[in-house]
């Protein structure tokens, strides 16, 4: 029977391409959780089984897999390294109690390494490093280890050292136990300690001893008296340090040969916290409750991954969802390993499982006993920052796109889709260009919908700048009743409302009252299209001041037409201008990128309002910038800051566009009209 204290929920994180999926594959293989060692390049790994992942050779979705070792169940969660799929990382972090940060011996500390450290630190989760790909050409373990110490401080401690034969890693030295080991098939065997490395081992052991000494007064005394720690004391001290955050042990290995994989597993069993020591308040003796942290939706239905937060989750339980206020009856529950689902009879407190066919539950929801009032914190996802208009290649495919994206949104909460009635475009917003491209590919492969992208149109406005008085006269004679409507209207700008303000200021009955609503209606229909470039007109006041009518030929239609003639003539004379949307921008960047960011902001016609230093050598830049200049900003910012920068952009107000910009907008509108005709 699995006990909560024997569970380890571990999130594997790091920069894209640093070997996370290969490491998880190796952990499965050396523990006989899979009977062959899959490779990312062959598309045969357990975690990257989605056709998109196989095609692109990158992880797109997070995959929790169970690994059994040393009497413990480790739920190892492989997460994407590409920042477009950050939402997948956040889902797993919500239920993890520790993180393994993977980096390569050749590449060392990269942006993804830094981001993983920050994410784990922000959540106060335990951290372990794993230096991968030690067999790669130009790999240098000591250089990568030195970079970690330099970047993240003295909490970074070595527990392993690779044994090299030229460029090839042949084994490892366990620094705590002073033993050398190599892999023989799927088993580890001890080998004689290589000659000439004693000094290096002692140096690394001294670093580790110093950190272990910090974990208790007793150990500190022993350290200052010059006594060696026993193996048990090392393990106990590292365990305490890992859980308190004062020690981040560094493991290493080669996923393809399995060297270092079992030692990492042993380290996670020995040092990583169980759910009982984690940041969530876990209650094995409580009534059943769970947090849904991930949803997978395919043609067969919906699969919800959950962490049991209290009690034991069993099939046929009825739990309540406080958000949707609906009850869900759990059917079969499963342990999931890649594509393979194994039915289980229970999921104990702290463990991870999956259930199919939940109706009213989505990612981040709590499921609880109907008599309970517990609600767990959900998952805060970043706002989408890259938008493109998506349209079908085949005519009439809009509905298929909309329904396909609705299904995909069940498993991916980091994108939005909006039907913009004003620009007549369906706008898809995601975390970046790769994210949008993956969504398009999934629409095609899962729902048979071919799509194309275009830059979203900007919702400009038009406004007048001076007051004019004009006549609109509609007179038509064509046998029988004619048509007659005649109005004098004053048009002027106003700041009270975006909407049209219509007033009547007529002395006498030059335009009878029953025709006043027709005049207003005619104007309201007209303001949807301005006279410059066809954008809606805002901030307009129209006052009906005079006119004339014909007892027989006047009608509502005639006065509507007269009003529209006055509108077209009047607005053209009233100094019309184009108003552009201005956004409020907050950019978070390293200090070193400040000059580049401000220079780029000036090119985008932005106004920098202020700069504020924030922790970790970062700056917050506040600016206002025309929304039209921000289409590619997420890609450009990523490029300027090597992925370290982030931003938020919110619509603020409309402002008059500069004359050269207005000319360009009017020209584009003319070309668009010609194209439509």
pLDDT over 70 at 66, yes or no? yes
pLDDT score recorded for residue 504 = 93
pLDDT score recorded for residue 299 = 63
Of 597, 639, 650, 470, nearest to 542 (Cα)? 470
Question: Quick one: three-class SS letters along 654-667?
Answer: EEECCHHHHHHHHH
pLDDT score recorded for residue 49 = 85
How many Å apart are CA 189 and CA 177, to the nearest integer? 14
Domain residue ranges of the chain, discontinuous segments joined by +: 4-277, 289-368, 386-454, 462-574, 579-661
pLDDT over 70 at 583, yes or no? yes
pLDDT score recorded for residue 385 = 86
- According to CATH, the superfamily of the domain at 4-277 is P-loop containing nucleotide triphosphate hydrolases (3.40.50.300)
Question: Cα 277 to chain center, whole Å?
Answer: 28
Any idea which fold 289-368 has?
A: Elongation Factor Tu (Ef-tu); domain 3 (2.40.30)
- The per-residue pLDDT of the chain, averaged, comes to 92
How many Å apart are CA 443 and CA 595, to the nearest integer? 41
**394-400: average pLDDT:** 86
CATH class of 579-661: alpha beta
- For residue range 266-306, list pLDDT tens digits in order: 999 999 999 999 878 899 999 999 999 999 986 667 899 99
- For residue range 160-171, list pLDDT tens digits in order: 999 988 888 899
Lowest mean pLDDT across 117-121, 407-411, 508-512 = 508-512
Architecture of domain 386-454: 2-Layer Sandwich (3.30)
pLDDT score recorded for residue 675 = 60
How many Å apart are CA 575 and CA 532, to the nearest integer? 10
pLDDT over 80 at 676, yes or no? no
Query: Cβ distance 442 to 409 under 8 Å?
Result: no
pLDDT score recorded for residue 479 = 64
* Tokens representing residue 115 in the block: 């981001």
How many Å apart are CA 92 and CA 53, to the nearest integer? 18
Query: Cβ distance 483 to 555 under 8 Å?
Result: yes
Q: What is the percent of the chain with per-residue pLDDT over 70, rounded to a whole number? A: 98
How confident is residue 319, by pLDDT bands cut at 50, 70 and 90? very high
Pairing of strands 326-329, 333-337: unpaired
- For residue range 443-456, list pLDDT tens digits in order: 998 888 999 999 99
pLDDT over 80 at 464, yes or no? yes
pLDDT score recorded for residue 196 = 86
pLDDT over 70 at 677, yes or no? no
pLDDT over 90 at 615, yes or no? no
pLDDT over 90 at 235, yes or no? yes
* Same-fold call for 4-277 versus 289-368: no
Output phi, psi for 312, to 5 deg.
-120, 135
**485-510: average pLDDT:** 91
How many Å apart are CA 364 and CA 294, to the nearest integer? 8
Query: Cβ distance 172 to 181 under 8 Å?
Result: yes
Longest CA span, the chain: 118
pLDDT over 60 at 149, yes or no? yes
Query: Cβ distance 142 to 252 under 8 Å?
Result: no
Assigned CATH for 462-574: 3.30.230.10
- For residue range 95-120, list pLDDT tens digits in order: 999 999 999 999 999 999 999 999 99
How confident is residue 48, by pLDDT bands cut at 50, 70 and 90? confident
pLDDT score recorded for residue 30 = 93
pLDDT over 90 at 1, yes or no? no
Q: Which helix (H) or strand (E) holds 494?
A: none
Residue with tokens 């490093």: 129
How confident is residue 313, by pLDDT bands cut at 50, 70 and 90? very high
pLDDT over 70 at 86, yes or no? yes
**50-55: average pLDDT:** 86
Of 136, 156, 134, nearest to 145 (Cα)? 156
């Amino acid at each position: 029977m699995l006990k909560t204290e024997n569970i380890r929920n571990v999130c594997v994180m790091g920069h894209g391409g640093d070997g996370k999926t290969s490491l998880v594959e190796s952990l499965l293989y050396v523990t006989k959780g899979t009977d062959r060692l899959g490779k990312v390049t062959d598309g045969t790994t357990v975690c990257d089984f989605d056709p998109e992942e196989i095609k692109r050779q990158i992880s797109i979705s997070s995959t929790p897999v169970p690994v059994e070792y040393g009497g413990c169940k480790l739920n190892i969660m492989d997460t994407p390294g590409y920042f477009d799929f950050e939402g997948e990382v956040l889902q797993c972090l919500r239920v993890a109690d520790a993180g393994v940060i993977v980096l390569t011996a050749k590449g060392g500390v990269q942006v993804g390494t830094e981001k993983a450290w920050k994410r784990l630190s922000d959540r106060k989760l335990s951290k372990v490093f794993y230096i991968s790909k030690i067999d790669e050409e130009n790999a240098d373990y000591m250089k990568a280890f030195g970079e970690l110490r330099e970047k993240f401080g003295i909490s970074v401690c070595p527990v392993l050292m690779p044994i090299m034969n030229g460029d090839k890693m042949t084994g490892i030295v366990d620094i705590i136990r002073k033993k050398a080991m190599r892999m023989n098939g799927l088993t580890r065997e001890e080998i004689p300690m290589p000659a000439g490395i004693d000094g290096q081992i002692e140096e690394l052991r001294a670093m580790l001893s110093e950190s272990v000494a910090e974990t208790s007064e007793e150990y500190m005394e022993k350290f200052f008296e010059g006594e060696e720690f026993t193996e048990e004391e090392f393990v106990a001290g590292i365990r305490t340090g890992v859980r308190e955050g004062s020690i981040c042990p560094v493991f290493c290995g080669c996923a393809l040969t399995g060297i270092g994989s079992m030692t990492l597993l042993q380290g996670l069993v020995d040092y990583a916290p169980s759910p009982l020591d984690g940041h969530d308040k876990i209650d094995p003796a409580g009534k059943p409750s769970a947090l849904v942290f991930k949803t997978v939706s395919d043609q067969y239905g919906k699969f919800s991954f959950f962490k049991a937060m209290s009690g034991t989750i069993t099939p046929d339980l009825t739990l309540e969802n406080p958000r949707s206020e609906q009850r869900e009856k759990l059917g079969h529950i499963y342990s999931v390993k890649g594509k393979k689902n194994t039915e289980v009879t229970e999921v104990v407190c702290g463990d991870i499982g999956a259930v199919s066919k939940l109706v009213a539950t989505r990612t981040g929801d709590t499921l609880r006993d109907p008599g309970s009032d517990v609600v767990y914190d959900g998952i805060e996802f970043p706002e989408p920052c890259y938008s493109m208009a998506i349209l079908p290649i085949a005519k009439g495919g809009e509905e298929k796109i909309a329904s396909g994206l609705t299904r995909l949104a069940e498993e991916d909460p980091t994108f939005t889709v909006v039907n913009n009635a004003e620009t007549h475009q369906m706008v898809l917003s995601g975390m970046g260009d790769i994210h949008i491209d993956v969504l398009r590919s999934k629409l095609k492969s899962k729902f048979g919908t071919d799509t194309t992208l275009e830059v979203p149109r900007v919702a400009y406005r038009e406004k007048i700048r001076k007051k004019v008085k004009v006549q609109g006269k509609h007179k038509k004679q064509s046998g029988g009743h004619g048509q007659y409507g005649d109005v004098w209207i004053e048009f002027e700008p106003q700041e009270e409302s975006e909407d049209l303000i219509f007033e009547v200021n007529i002395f006498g009955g030059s335009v009878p009252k029953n025709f006043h609503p027709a005049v207003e209606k005619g104007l309201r229909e007209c303001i949807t299209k301005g006279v410059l470039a066809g954008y809606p007109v805002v901030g307009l006041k129209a006052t009906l001041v005079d006119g004339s009518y014909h007892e027989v030929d006047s009608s509502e239609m005639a006065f509507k037409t007269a009003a529209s003639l006055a509108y077209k003539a009047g607005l053209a004379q009233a100094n019309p201008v184009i108003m552009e949307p201005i956004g409020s921008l907050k950019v978070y960047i390293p200090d070193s990128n400040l000059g580049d960011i401000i220079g780029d902001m000036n090119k985008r016609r932005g106004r920098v309002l202020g700069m504020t230093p924030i922790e970790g050598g970062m700056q917050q830049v506040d600016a206002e910038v025309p929304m039209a200049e921000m289409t590619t900003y997420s890609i450009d910012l990523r490029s300027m800051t090597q992925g370290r920068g982030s931003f938020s952009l919110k619509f603020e107000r409309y402002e008059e566009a500069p004359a050269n910009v207005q000319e360009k907008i009017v020209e584009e509108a003319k070309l668009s009209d010609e194209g439509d005709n």
